[in-house]
Chains A and B, each alone.
Chain A
Amino acid sequence: MIDRQDVMRMARLARLELSEEEIELYQRDLNSFLVSGRKLQQVDVSKVEGTSHAVAVIGELRPDVVGESLPQEAVLGAGPQVFNGFFKVPRIVEGQE
């Protein structure tokens, strides 16, 4: 069973702020999902490797040539907060100005 603490922990890992209602909702959903997830655990997979891609593409290389880059101004244009050619974020390192 998944309890409230588990839900809060997942939300923290996923960087997701949830309302009280959502915490209850997802606790219920996670629990009902686990029922279906457990169905898979009964399948015998001892003889197979996992599939990570539908079609394995291994070591596909392309020539290492300089292509066209997007202009910095345009890229920054989509940012909600930009300053002086940078994306602006809240302070993440404490220290002097």
Chain B
Amino acid sequence: MRRLAELLQSKQISSTEIVRGCLERIEETEPVLNAFITVDEEGALAQAAAADRRRAAGEPLSPWDGIPLAVKDNISTSGLRTTCASRFLRNYTPIFDATVVERVKRAGLPIVGKTNLDEFAMGSSTEYSAFGVTKNPHDPLRVAGGSSGGSAAAVAAEQVPWSLGTDTGGSIRQPASFCGVVGLKPSYGRVSRYGAVALAPSLDQVGTLARKVEDAAILFSLIAGADPRDAVSAGAPGFPVPVWDDTVVRGLRVGVPEEFFSSGLNEEVEKAVKRALQNLADQGAVLQPISLPTNEYAIDTYLTLVTAEASSCLARFDGVRYGERVEAADANTMFAKSRGAGFGHEVKRRIMLGTYVLSASHYEAYYEQAQKVRTLIKQDVARAFQEVDVIVTPTTPTTAFKIGEKRNPLEMYLSDLYTATANLSGVCALSLPCGVDSQGLPIGLQIIGDHFGEELVFQVAHAVEESVGRGTGSEV
């Protein structure tokens, strides 16, 4: 992105040219990929023209002024349709910008469009979108992952240089891993969630996707920091783009949790991750076997909490203030009919599960119990970070699976096996490519850092990226 910024600065390329390049690439690849729900050609070109005028006047808003991005379609964009990939919101246009959108606009980034996701971010494959599945750019018979599948595929296929996603249990990292791009789930509270449609407020974070570690860091620097409209971001520091220093690896204590290398892990994934770990050791890192014994409960804990919170959050979709309504003679029937018609299967399934675990007679046995197990998971992670600086794991147990392959919802939930722990404990985590399997499908490596430890995570990721030595494409 630095090169692109230099070209813009020296007037060798214009924002309009970059945006046109993106739009052409989208036109060419979209019939196969389906990464976007809405492409805003007119708006993106208008924003690009404005960026070019600012450049001409010598008043760019930031070094990145005019470099376009894509935004996941559960993040509110003023005047631009925001559907959450739900039939319920298919015609909904917000009248305000999410804080992250406000911030990227303030830096001058044109928004090319809104990317596909699992409905209301509930899923791990983008198959649960009311707008069709997003295909993996490396193999269109396979999923791009999810729920930020559109954001990951759009970056991997070079439709856009970078994008925003959301991550509640792995929704940025898992698709980043499947599509071979870099994806960051920031620490809980580091980025404002204002205007991002809530799935599970105790877990949700907005994060960044890009083809290079540095680019994910640059975009993160534009959105990080406190926002009075999201109380949990109150203590959040901003994030300056790091000065890269690969010597941080020397003496770095890298935790390798045995539980993440056990049954269910694909052999080729294991091999690639272990090779990357060996590379770190060769550069002077100290690999330390650690144990996160409660990770075994992460998925069940996550599932209980996420369904409970989702069932409560989605109560607002009642057909009164926004979205689709099915008319009925009385209010309760109108709510039930509107919701029944507007939501897809996975959303209804989670609302049902969530309602069950929150209902008076089951609250203690399920919901409260899960909250307590969450405490144990948090304690495990906190204990680990007393001994190590970062934790390195595979991002997902397998590479991208085939579309339609996972029919059982519980099986689908297992693809978040290695990622949910970071959300439950609130720490930051990043996925980056560390190789490909025998079918040419990307393999992701996850680097977990302590709360607000993004700087170190990016530094380590940068060192890994250099050692893997695999550039994943040009800059549009």
- On chain B, the number of residues with a Cβ less than 8 Å from chain A's Cβ atoms is 77
Known: A50-B374, A60-B234, A92-B331. A16 touches B320 (CB 8 A): no
B247 at the interface (CB under 8 A from A): no
Let me know if B129 is at the binding interface, CB within 8 A. Answer: no
Interface positions, chain B 48-97, Cβ under 8 Å from A, are 92-96
- Restricting to B75-127, which residues have a CB under 8 Å from any CB of A? 92-96
Write the nearest CB–CB distance from A75 to chain B, whole angstroms.
Answer: 7
Given A11-B352, A37-B300, A70-B96, also A91-B330 (CB < 8 A) = yes
Segment at the A interface, from B134-142, B173-181, B337-345, B387-395: B337-345
Of B260-268, B397-405, B422-430, the stretch lying at the interface with chain A is B422-430
Q: Which residues of B contact A11 (CB under 8 A)?
A: 336, 352
Q: Does A89 contact B (CB under 8 A)?
A: yes
CB distance from B315 to the nearest CB of A (A): 8
Given contacts A22-B348, A39-B297, A54-B424, contact A45 B359 (CB under 8 A): no
B319 adjacent to chain A (CB < 8 Å) = yes
Answer yes or no: B467 CB below 8 A from chain A CBs. no
Q: Residue A17 at the B interface, CB < 8 A?
A: yes
- Give the distance in Å from the alpha carbon of A41 to the alpha carbon of B226 in the complex: 37
Which applies to chain B's interface (DSSP): helix, strand, loop or mixed? helix
Query: Residues of B contacting A53 with CB < 8 Å?
Result: 188, 202, 232, 426
Chain B residues in 8 Å Cβ range of A36? 299-300, 303, 410
Tell me the B291-333 residues at the A interface (CB within 8 Å).
294, 297, 299-301, 303-304, 311, 315, 318-325, 327-333
In the bound complex, what is the Cα–Cα distance between A77 and B321 (angstroms)? Answer: 9
- B5 CB-CB contact with A under 8 Å: no
A74 interface hit (Cβ, 8 Å): yes
Known: A15-B318, A55-B232, A89-B334. A40 touches B339 (CB 8 A): no
Q: Indicate if the CB atoms of B336 and A41 lie closer than 8 Å.
A: no
Known: A14-B352, A36-B303. A57 touches B321 (CB 8 A): no
Chain B residue at minimum C-beta to C-beta distance from A18: B340
The A-B contact count (CB < 8 A) is 174
Closest to A17 in B: B340
Min C-beta distance of B226 to chain A, whole Å: 10
- Pairwise interchain contact B330-A40, C-beta atoms closer than 8 A: no
CB distance from B13 to the nearest CB of A (A): 37
Interface 9-mer from B32-40, B144-152, B365-373? B365-373
Residue A78 at the B interface, CB < 8 A?
yes
Instruction: Kindly state the separation between the CA atoms of A29 and B356 in the bound complex, as whole angstroms.
Output: 12
Contact between B202 and A13 (Cβ–Cβ < 8 Å)?
no
Contacts of B368 in A (CB 8 A): 50
Contact of A57 among B232, B303, B369 (CB under 8 A): B232
B206 interfacial contact with A, CB 8 Å: no
- Determine whether A97 belongs to the interface, using a CB cutoff of 8 Å to chain B: no
The one of B95, B202, B378 in contact with A75, judged by C-beta atoms closer than 8 angstroms, is: B95
A30 touches B234 (CB 8 A): no
Instruction: Report if A1 contacts B (CB, 8 A).
Output: no
Contact A40 B373, beta carbon cutoff 8 Å: yes
Q: Are A15 and B301 in contact (CB under 8 A)?
A: no
Partner of B375, one of A25, A29, A50, A87: A50
User: Do the beta carbons of B374 and A16 come within 8 Å of each other?
Assistant: no
Q: Would A45 and B376 count as touching, CB distance under 8 A?
A: yes
User: Residues of A contacting B365 with CB < 8 Å?
Assistant: 37, 41
- A49 and B375 in contact, given A25-B345, A60-B234, A78-B322 (Cβ under 8 angstroms): yes
Tell which of B304, B328, B355 touches A10, judged by Cβ atoms closer than 8 Å. B355
Given contacts A14-B352, A17-B339, A55-B232, contact A43 B297 (CB under 8 A): yes
A32-65 vs B, CB cutoff 8 Å, 1 = contact: the mask equals: 1100110111010100111111110100101000
One of A17, A29, A54, A89 near B426 (C-beta < 8 A): A54
Chain A residue nearest to B347 (CB atoms) is A16
**Smallest CB–CB gap between A1 and chain B, Å?**
13
Using CB atoms, name the residue of chain A closest to B232. A57
Cβ-defined contact, A50 with B359, below 8 A: no
- Measured in the bound complex, the distance between the Cα atoms of B208 and A57 in whole Å is 24
Q: A18-B348, A54-B426, A87-B320 given as contacts; is B95 within 8 A of A74 (CB)?
A: yes
Given contacts A30-B356, A43-B369, A53-B202, 12 further A-B contacts (CB under 8 A): A7-B352, A14-B339, A16-B351, A26-B352, A37-B304, A43-B294, A43-B297, A45-B376, A50-B368, A55-B188, A80-B324, A91-B330
Show 10 A/B contacts (Cβ-Cβ < 8 Å), sorted by A. Answer: A16-B340, A17-B336, A17-B337, A18-B340, A54-B188, A55-B232, A60-B234, A70-B95, A90-B334, A91-B331
A interface residues (Cβ-Cβ under 8 A, vs B): 2, 6-7, 10-19, 22, 25-26, 29-30, 32-33, 36-37, 39-41, 43, 45, 48-55, 57, 60, 62, 70, 74-75, 77-81, 87, 89-92
